[in-house]
Structure 1
Amino acid sequence: MSGAVSGGEAVVRALAEHGVDTVFGIPGTHNLEIYRHLPAYRVRHVLTRHEQGAGYAADGYARACGRPGVVLVTSGPATLNAAAAIGQAYSDSIPVLLISPGMPLRSTPGAGLLHETRDQSRAMDSVAAYSHRVTSVAGIPVALARAFAVLTSGRARPVHLEIPLDVLVERSVVISPGPVAVPVTVPPDDMIAAAAQVLGAARAPLMIVGGGARWAAPQVRMVAERLGAAVVTTANGKGVLPDDHPLALGAGMHLPAVAEIARRAGAVLVVGSELAPSDLWHGPLEFTGPVVRVDADPAQLVTNAVPDVALAGDAAATLDRLLALLDPVPGRGAAAEVAAAEVARWRAIKDGQAMAEGGRWRWIVRALAEGVGRGGIVAGDSAMICYYGALTGLPAYGPSRFLHPTGYGTLGYGLPAAMGAAVALPGRAVAALMGDGGVMFTIAELAAAAQLGLALPVVVVDNGGYGEIRAEMVSRQDPVQAVELPSPDFVMLARSLGAYGVRAGDEESLTAAVKEALAADRPTLVHVRETPLANVEETP
């Protein structure tokens, strides 16, 4: 059939039409018809060592650059291996596309085909925004266009596409709809005017900024300055307002100072945040002033806190419209100085609480911050060093500088996410920050990073086990069990995987190790025990 393409080529052609130039994954028997066409369409493939690692790498890629991350795996166990990463992307609203083969359309269920899964698409539908099983070659470009429309509009969520094996090899003439032009949504003018009136009349307003404002950083800053508002962020909103801005309170929504600031605020503007328990930890915030919420997801506007004014729309576009209606503050210079002084007072109180909680890790955080520099990115894990130490102690001077698996709380995220960020932004200083328990979930990705030649510091903070769970057992007065992890020789383990390995035992040696790792020709695992070690020791 003249002009006909296989299902596999239709997949790759559609990806290229949507601007995809990089995919993460692992080839397998059932997805080779897709792989064969990647070079012809100049789509780079990044080989990981596990499908979960591929999913986390695509997540880190998407967070770092804002483009959807694409994962290509084979059927059955490979697809299910990626499920945890898709669940994490769903929880944190990250645009990740997972493509996998499925059992043939014309097969008998239960026949015992290789990788046969009873209902693979239904399994993935439970963790993604949706899962779609394509039934024809002609349907592939349409399915991809629909997926990218979901990935790039409103609240980003991951999508899974399943292509049956027989559809992958069949040939057909296809008509591609191409990328769908996605309109930017803004609330009605009367709703924006109502929000401007509430906020403009408020004394000592507060802004709560989440991951939904990641790409609206200039608008967040301008609105904060116009209102003279203190700005506190969630983990995923960390750095949207640079931490050294006079109005920045930084991250750490769970700290008592934030609850008190929220209670006292004359009005609260929430931008792109769920106000989720996974950020607040100790219960919902109490608002005594009016609340304005901005969110791309209309359903989220009334979840966890009902606002006085609900603005459903794109964060950047909505804040632009809001800014146009906010009158400049009379005597702006003097008012700004007063606001900044008050924010500095609360910032000192909040920082004191953060030190009481995570001071034992602060030297590690300082060293890492010095090592990666002002523009650096740190991909963290669900580890004590991250949510007690780096969340509040690591300065962030722009959005997507701290990548953290917040809502789902998966272990093993940091290393492959850092890989994805480094692939997305070549030349940017990127580091991973892991615990000794979590790093073992995805340690094999160190070999993938070595094969890529990434200058990637992987800082592993070793407390000899699952420290958070150990502490919870102690606090419950339970028997302490199943949480002790005798550490491997991390330096030798790194070397065996093709990376460098060093040990660091103080702030000076850790800073030096991170800086040296960023200039290396491959990744470097930096092993740090929570008790002092000897000076940095490099492997030959």
Structure 2
Amino acid sequence: MAEAVTGGAAVVDSLVAQGVRHVFGIPGTHNLEIYRYLPSSGIRHVVTRHEQGAGYAADGYARVTGGPGVLITTSGPGITNAITALATSYADSVPTLAISPGPPRGTVGKDVGWLHELKNQQGALDAVCDRSIRVESADELPEVIAEIFAGFTSRRPRPVHLEVPVDVLEGEWVRRPAAAAQTFEVVQVDSAEIAAAFAQARRPLIIAGGGARGAAAEIRALAANGVPVLTTVNGKGIIDERDPVALGASIRLPAAHRVITEADLVVAVGTELGDSDLWGGVPQAAKVIRIDIDPAQLHKNLQADLPITGDAQQALQLTTKRFDTTHVTEWQKAIRADADLDAGPWAAIQESLAGALPADTVIAGDSSQVTYYGTVHFWPFTTANRLLYPTGYATLGYGLPAAIGAKIAQPERPVIGLFGDGAAMFTIQEFVTATELRLPLPIIVINNGGYAEIREQMVDRGIAPQAVDLYQPDLPAMARAIGAHGIEATSAAALGDLAAEALTTDRPTLIQLTISGSRA
């Protein structure tokens, strides 16, 4: 029997039909009809203290689950607060869905003084997402949301914004069965040319990006046959970094660039080989195969001799040839020597934590020196680990809410946050969220007095340091005032045991380690 409800039910029913279990967000005047139907839906709503935090939490959730993260905001400032988080998901190819109200039908662009009115809300979101979709009736929602979710698995996964006019959300809708999840056909790949290239190669190299995770088993099989694997930061952990042919996630280092030029076959899987990964120009290579679900990636930054659009898992099921690996040890030594130049205090911090924490720990980093000089190079990941890191957009403030999203997604799994004091202060309000949720999260803040990386760049350019040495609040005391635990670590060596103990508590723990200066 038909049931008269509002358009908010169409949104919630459609999310349920796609298997959504959690959403992140903040209620506001224009999205309240969505909240009317959430409690009875079985979907858990996690309220954050800022919409940007909701966006980062949805991003972290998506990275550890492999499925979409969903955030709900109100119109205007609510959705624009989330834009930086959505741009982060876009840069790193993370599937997130942002749902917001929009202006009533017939008022878009009219500048009528509507509450939260934006000149062009949909245009603003379309500029940072894969696309922004506006529906004009509640009847459209089931099929539109089903198509969005199908797109997350059939093409390059990037954030999508769904705008629902507020009068559609609040208007009457006759409830009907939600659209079923859509299926898609996998693009068939002819791997004969790839097999032939491997057959002719003597010193092949695989570069695995974040888009290669679905082909991790095939990449490990090639590694077992002696093919060395270098990963981007987003590909870190695809192969156990203790493997005899693993070259780590140190693709930005000069030694890794030399490795790329010395290989006689480079197979780049699921990566754009961008500046955010390589920190400079792309090295030339003798022969290049690129495999990606997105055809626009196949010649980006490095021209492919053999471009393959489609499923990397299928493309790499191709060879059992065994390769001589005598040269790989020299490649590993050269890369490690380059990494050691950046060691500073970062190596000791990573070694302490890696030695004390479970093998499947998720590390939520940030655009902090302790992440890109430390975790990337000095925490030897197994295939069970996962690093959450805003590589492409290089935002500050990502780590804390991303850790919350990861812990909500997989509560049984150990999750920590590890980042600098500058990054922490961008989203420190989400420590309240973690405390309210009673999450056993160790949040480790390495305090070097401000924006150390930018300070170094100023000095290198002959600019007098300014606006980089910051006033430092007592972060452990702040954590205790919130109702969580707050601890000052006395040394890098102490961090591992403190973090391991914090995993057993009933609330988050802020662990601060104060160090002197940048890379001191």
TM-score normalised by length of structure 2: 0.96
CA–CA separation in structure 1 for the residues paired with 2:177 and 2:409: 30
- What's the counterpart of residue 536 of structure 1? none
Query: Residues 399 and 143 of structure 1: is their aligned pair in 2 closer, same or farther, counting only changes over 3 Å?
Result: farther
- The runs of 5 or more residues in structure 2 that have no matched partner are none
CA–CA separation in structure 2 for the residues paired with 1:523 and 1:316: 39
Counterpart of 1:248 in 2: which secondary structure?
coil
- What's the counterpart of residue 130 of structure 2? 129
Residue 486 of structure 1: how far off its partner (Å): 1.6
Counterpart of 2:375 in 1: which secondary structure?
helix
CA–CA separation in structure 2 for the residues paired with 1:208 and 1:148: 28
CA–CA separation in structure 2 for the residues paired with 1:219 and 1:186: 16
Matched AA of 1:236: N
Residue 319 of structure 1: how far off its partner (Å): 2.0
Question: C-alpha offsets along residues 21-59 of structure 1, whole Å, 9 cap, x if unaligned?
Answer: 100111111111001111211000111111000000000
Matched AA of 2:199: G
Percent identity, aligned pairs only, is 47
Residue 53 (1) aligns with residue 57 (2): no
Question: C-alpha offsets along residues 166-191 of structure 1, whole Å, 9 cap, x if unaligned?
Answer: 0001123356432111222232x2xx
- What's the counterpart of residue 538 of structure 1? none
CA–CA separation in structure 2 for the residues paired with 1:418 and 1:161: 25
Candidates 163, 180, 183, aligned match of 1:181:
183
Matched AA of 1:475: D
Residue 160 (1) aligns with residue 158 (2): no
- What's the counterpart of residue 139 of structure 1? 140
Q: Equivalent residues in 2 for 1:183-332 (5 A)?
A: 183-187=185-189, 189=190, 192-226=191-225, 228-287=226-285, 289-320=286-317, 323=318, 326=319, 328-329=320-321, 332=322
CA–CA separation in structure 2 for the residues paired with 1:169 and 1:318: 48
Contact 1:214 1:400 in 2 (8 A): no
Candidates 393, 401, 404, aligned match of 1:416:
401
Counterpart of 2:114 in 1: which secondary structure?
coil
Matched AA of 2:245: L
Contact 1:213 1:315 in 2 (8 A): yes
Counterpart of 1:45 in 2: which secondary structure?
strand
Question: C-alpha offsets along residues 122-150 of structure 1, whole Å, 9 cap, x if unaligned?
Answer: 10000000001110011111221121122
CA–CA separation in structure 2 for the residues paired with 1:366 and 1:13: 47
Matched AA of 2:269: V
- What's the counterpart of residue 433 of structure 1? 418
Contact 2:477 2:486 in 1 (8 A): yes
CA RMSD in angstroms comes to 1.6
Contact 2:361 2:385 in 1 (8 A): no
Matched AA of 2:230: V
- Which is further off, 215-224 or 418-427? 215-224
- What's the counterpart of residue 464 of structure 2? 479
Matched AA of 2:239: L
Residue 10 (1) aligns with residue 10 (2): yes
Matched AA of 1:43: I
Residue 473 of structure 1: how far off its partner (Å): 0.4
Residue 409 of structure 1: how far off its partner (Å): 0.4
Q: Equivalent residues in 2 for 1:347-362 (5 A)?
A: 347-362=332-347
Matched AA of 1:280: L
Number of matched pairs:
515
Question: C-alpha offsets along residues 199-249 of structure 1, whole Å, 9 cap, x if unaligned?
Answer: 2210011110000012321111112333x2111000000010111111101
CA–CA separation in structure 2 for the residues paired with 1:297 and 1:204: 27
CA–CA separation in structure 1 for the residues paired with 2:460 and 2:312: 41
- Which is further off, 2-11 or 447-456? 2-11
CA–CA separation in structure 1 for the residues paired with 2:384 and 2:111: 48
CA–CA separation in structure 1 for the residues paired with 2:426 and 2:352: 25
Candidates 431, 445, 455, aligned match of 2:430:
445
Question: C-alpha offsets along residues 462-501 of structure 1, whole Å, 9 cap, x if unaligned?
Answer: 1101011100000000121111112100111111222211
Question: C-alpha offsets along residues 342-375 of structure 1, whole Å, 9 cap, x if unaligned?
Answer: 3233212211210111333111111222233211
Matched AA of 2:185: P
